Amino acid sequence: MKSWFKSLPLLCSISSFAAEGPTSTADLKRTNATSKPKEYLSTTAINAETREFKPGDSFIYAIKEDPAKGGGGIHTIKVNDAGEAIFPVSFETKLYVKVDVTAFTLGEIRKKIKDLLDEEYYNDATVLLEFVGANRTPRELEVAPQVQIYGEMQGTVTLREDEEKRISDAILSLSRTPFADLRRVRLHRVDPISGNKETRIVNVDKILREGDRSGDEILQNGDRIEVRPKTFNF
């Protein structure tokens, strides 16, 4: 993968994204056509460079050297309930790097993304990242418990009070791709009391084939299910 990215020349630059000032940011937000979440206090001034980022915050993001769309592919990235953000490696791939944005300033997040991209995918990536939306209001937080599925399979599963839903149920509720690795599905969970993060690997493929649900994890609000692509050896 790394050699594929590095062999392609830079097709164009996104000068408007990299430019300083409110005009550039406004143009990009119109391009993405997304609604901007509000801060708890709408009158609170926000300094993006010093802000402690929270779940529900959002960014616009691009890689100047991205071979897809001539480097002009712009993503809207939202921080999940665990405080992490998923940044695609390219506009036309499901590969990504993951950053716990609550631990860094905006400049540090840019550097962390660049380090992760350069480690495996690019020679010298130029990361374009801007903060565009503050965390959700209390009213918006009053939603049904949900589980996010990302990676090779993507979607959101709602947890209802009158039913028990397991990880295999969540997988079966989505369209499956032939490249989804269901033998090593990762269940990411944050302990609501201690705040500790835990990752469990579940063989959903075996559960579906054999019908043994002893290892079929019962889902909880805020769980995140990561489905990675299969690894092929040629």
pLDDT at 42: 39
- CB-CB neighbours of 170 under 10 Å: 25
Q: Where are the alpha helices (DSSP H) in 72-137?
A: 106-120
Selected residue with higher pLDDT from 232 and 120? 120
pLDDT at 111: 95
Split at pLDDT 50, 70, 90, the class of 71 is low
Split at pLDDT 50, 70, 90, the class of 2 is low
Rg (C-alpha) for the chain, rounded Å, is 19
Selected residue with higher pLDDT from 59 and 133? 59
Residue 48 backbone phi and psi in degrees, to 5: -60, -30
- The CATH fold assigned to 143-227 is Outer membrane lipoprotein wza fold like (3.10.560)
Residue 142 sits at the vertex; the CA angle it makes with 138 and 144, to the nearest 5 degrees, is 155
Domain ranges across the chain = 2-139, 143-227
Q: Which of 16-30, 136-150, 170-184 has the lowest mean pLDDT?
A: 16-30
Selected residue with higher pLDDT from 19 and 200? 200
Check whether 11 has a pLDDT greater than 50: no
Q: What percentage of the chain carries pLDDT values higher than 70?
A: 74
State the pTM of this model.
Answer: 0.47
Split at pLDDT 50, 70, 90, the class of 117 is very high
